């Protein structure tokens, strides 16, 4: 979706300029009684074109600035929602800002589900996903849909349902894993592998997923790496993963999981 919008904006200026110049030429031809031929009209078209390019560029810039402001307002509302734990007031603010964003209804619902996920409001995230018309999503949005669904199921302890869902829609994840820039999906697939006891596969994906600038995602990867190391008896590696996770734990969920892991690692060293 982002790539499409960038390409659309790049071509919007010349296309709009050509269209406006042609319209201006037609208006000139009609207003002068249709007595001029193609040569004169072509000269009018060429003279109008630079001005229409400037006007089109200004128009695109104005629209882009408005869009950037709306995105910033949405991010601010999202931060308020995260700080308050997605209470009624902050969610209403989020909905208002979401309505101001461009995009179709299904895209906005997916964005709302992602917002609820980032607020650790997993039940609300699932409710938003249930309301989406899946047939209206793009291939990338389909991948994000199942990624959020399985993540929510795993976090809520519905391991069997999460694994069954993954087996049914595994081709969406294979498609996502085949390209770059899908670290969050790699993290979710690693969670699935951990849930079924395939710790080596989970570890490999987690190491790939944590190679990002997103501190929250890196922390989540470190937390699961610590679990994998504990399960396979590598206590020193688990301790190092916990220390790494401590530096990036920002959400209350991460803090709770971190405290649990610290106790588990300490207990394991005590037994050793």
Closest CA to 164 of 150, 179, 174, 152: 150
Q: d(Cα 252, Cα 263) in Å, to the nearest integer?
A: 17
Q: Indicate the number of domains in the chain.
A: 1
Q: d(Cα 158, Cα 187) in Å, to the nearest integer?
A: 17
Residue 143 domain flag: no
Rounded to an integer, the average pLDDT of 240-245 is 90
- Identify the domain containing residue 244 by its residue range: 213-272
Q: d(Cα 215, Cα 210) in Å, to the nearest integer?
A: 9
Q: Packing angle between helix 199-209 and helix 215-231, nearest 10 degrees? A: 160
Q: d(Cα 101, Cα 152) in Å, to the nearest integer?
A: 25
Confidence of residue 8 (pLDDT cuts 50, 70, 90): low
Q: Look up residue 264 and give its two tokens.
A: 């588990």
Dump the DSSP string for 86-119.
S-HHHHHHHHHHHHHS-S-HHHHHHHHHHHHHHT
Residue 52 domain flag: no
Backbone angles phi, psi at 98, to 5 degrees: -65, -40
**Where would I find the beta strands (DSSP E) of 103-200?**
none
Residue 159 domain flag: no
Residue 21 domain flag: no
Residue 261 domain flag: yes
Q: Look up residue 107 and give its two tokens.
A: 């895209």
Per-residue model confidence as pLDDT tens digits over 74-118: 788 778 777 777 788 888 888 888 788 777 788 889 988 988 888
Q: Look up residue 116 and give its two tokens.
A: 């609820």
Q: d(Cα 113, Cα 77) in Å, to the nearest integer?
A: 14
Residue 252 domain flag: yes
Q: How confident is the model at residue 230, as a pLDDT? A: 92
- Only one residue has tokens 């992602």, namely 114
| Sign of the dihedral defined by the CA atoms of residues 28, 34, 37, 38, in that order | positive
- Only one residue has tokens 């959400």, namely 251
Q: d(Cα 185, Cα 115) in Å, to the nearest integer?
A: 16
pLDDT of 272 > 90? The answer is no
- Contact between 159 and 195 under an 8 Å Cβ cutoff? The reply is yes
Residue 221 domain flag: yes
Rounded to an integer, the average pLDDT of 174-179 is 87
Per-residue model confidence as pLDDT tens digits over 113-169: 988 888 888 888 999 999 999 888 888 889 999 999 999 999 888 999 999 999 998
Q: Look up residue 126 and give its two tokens.
A: 């699932």
Rounded to an integer, the average pLDDT of 226-236 is 92
- What pTM does this model have? 0.73
Residue 223 domain flag: yes
Rounded to an integer, the average pLDDT of 33-47 is 83
Closest CA to 205 of 194, 216, 219: 194
């Amino acid at each position: 979706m982002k790539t499409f919008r960038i390409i659309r904006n790049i071509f919007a200026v010349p296309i709009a300029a050509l269209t406006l110049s042609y319209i201006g030429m037609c208006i000139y031809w009609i207003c002068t009684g249709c007595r001029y031929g193609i040569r004169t009209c072509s000269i009018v078209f060429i003279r109008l074109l630079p001005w229409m390019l400037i006007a089109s560029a200004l128009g695109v810039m104005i629209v882009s600035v408005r869009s950037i402001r709306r995105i910033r307002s949405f991010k601010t509302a999202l931060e308020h929602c995260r700080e308050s734990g997605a209470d009624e007031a902050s969610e209403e603010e989020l909905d208002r800002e979401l309505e101001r964003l461009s995009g179709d209804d299904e895209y906005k619902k997916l964005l709302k589900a992602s917002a609820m996920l980032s607020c650790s409001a997993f039940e609300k995230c699932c409710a938003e996903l249930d309301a989406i018309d899946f047939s209206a999503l793009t291939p990338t949005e389909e991948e994000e849909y199942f990624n959020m669904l399985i993540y929510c199921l795993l976090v809520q302890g519905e391991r069997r349902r999460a694994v069954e869902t993954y087996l049914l829609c595994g081709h969406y994840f294979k498609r996502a894993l085949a390209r770059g820039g899908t670290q969050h999906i790699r993290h979710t697939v690693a969670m699935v592998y951990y849930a079924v006891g395939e710790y080596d596969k989970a570890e490999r994906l987690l190491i790939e997923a944590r190679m990002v600038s997103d501190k929250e995602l890196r922390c989540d990867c470190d937390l699961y790496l610590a679990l994998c190391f504990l399960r396979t008896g590598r206590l020193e590696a688990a301790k190092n993963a916990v220390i790494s996770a401590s530096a990036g734990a920002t959400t209350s969920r991460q803090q709770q999981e971190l405290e649990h892991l610290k106790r588990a690692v300490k207990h394991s060293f005590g037994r050793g």
